[in-house]
Structure 1
Amino acid sequence: MRPNIQNPHTQRYKDQAKALRRELTATGHPITHSAALELVAKQNGARDWNTLSAQAATPTPVVGGPVTGRYMGHTFTGIVKSLSQVGTAHRIAIQLDEPIDVVAFDSFSAMRSRITATINAQGISHSHTSDGVPHLVVHGVDW
């Protein structure tokens, strides 16, 4: 039999639900554990507990962790320097392992070693080139 290994994010949400249930019960407003889970899900921007639980189980980039993707048409590897949630999007800063030339002209170059962008739940930047290609695509993102 396989041991039940709890995702740390899911466990944190369950702990929040237990604390919420205790507080509400102590103030004369008892609720069920499932109702507390649903409230925690809504507080964290999810439609319901099942959605929040699934989101928590999906690996996401972490500060200090490795990341790969495409920036301005170039494949890259790097390290996540910062990551923050902005509404339903995320602001990410990546230190590239190798600088990327972000200019398409032969007579001019501009090397970039750090990227900062706002990405959606699939890791795709809101900014696009004039032909519609996203500036940044971070692989392995699915918030």
Structure 2
Amino acid sequence: MNNQLPSTTQAKDQAKRLRKKMTEDGEPIGHAKSLELIAHQHGFRDWNTMFAAIGNRPPEGWAIGEKVNGTYLSQPFEATVISISMVRPGWFRLGLDLDEAVDVVTSEQFSNLRKRIRSIVGPKGESLEKTGDGKPHLHIEL
């Protein structure tokens, strides 16, 4: 069994790529079959067993005291995780203490600096909330 287990999102992405490749090779398979094959590649009996082993844990590095980086309102940041709680499977409420304050206003007329932020982040490291141009408010590199 592989000691480096993928996250649920990564495993599902692997299954999608496998299904696409098999279809291109003229041997189409269904979604469930591709999940089973990915589970077998990681040494598990079936997808349900692998899913239980992966659990609904946060991605690697999302623990109190860990450093993360990404973008907040399209501005790059580095931060320390100061709180984390699961909202629902795959979704976590994170509290971040930014190394350097981020200006959340785009106007030249004034500034509004934020040093601490809280947001609910999904399995791809992105918040549901979006800016006017469709980008997530918060994106954490996985």
TM-score normalised to the size of structure 2?
0.62
SS in 1 for 2:64: coil
Cα shift at 1:97:
0.2
Residues in 1 aligned to 2:94 and 2:70: alpha-carbon distance in whole angstroms = 13
Q: Which runs of 5+ in 2 are unaligned?
A: 6-46
Residues in 2 aligned to 1:117 and 1:59: alpha-carbon distance in whole angstroms = 18
Structure 1: which amino acid aligns with 2:52? L
SS in 1 for 2:108: coil
Cα shift at 1:57:
10
**Divergent runs of 4+, >3 A:** 4-7, 54-58
- Percent identity, please: 32
Alignment check: 8 A CA contact 2:103 2:114 kept: yes
CA 1:117–1:105 in structure 2 vs 1: closer, same or farther (change >3 Å)?
A: same
Structure 2: which amino acid aligns with 1:81? I
SS in 2 for 1:50: helix
CA 1:57–1:99 in structure 2 vs 1: closer, same or farther (change >3 Å)?
A: closer
| Greater Rg by CA | 1
Q: CA RMSD in A?
A: 2.5
Residues in 2 aligned to 1:82 and 1:116: alpha-carbon distance in whole angstroms = 9
Residues in 1 aligned to 2:83 and 2:107: alpha-carbon distance in whole angstroms = 30
Residues in 1 aligned to 2:93 and 2:59: alpha-carbon distance in whole angstroms = 18
Question: For residue 116 of structure 1, what is the aligned residue in structure 2?
Answer: 118
TM-score normalised to the size of structure 1?
0.61
Structure 2: which amino acid aligns with 1:73? S
Question: For residue 134 of structure 2, what is the aligned residue in structure 1?
Answer: 132
Q: Which runs of 5+ in 1 are unaligned?
A: 8-46
CA 1:5–1:130 in structure 2 vs 1: closer, same or farther (change >3 Å)?
A: closer
CA 1:113–1:58 in structure 2 vs 1: closer, same or farther (change >3 Å)?
A: closer
- Kindly indicate whether residue 75 of structure 2 is the aligned counterpart of residue 74 of structure 1: yes
Question: For residue 84 of structure 2, what is the aligned residue in structure 1?
Answer: 83
SS in 2 for 1:48: helix
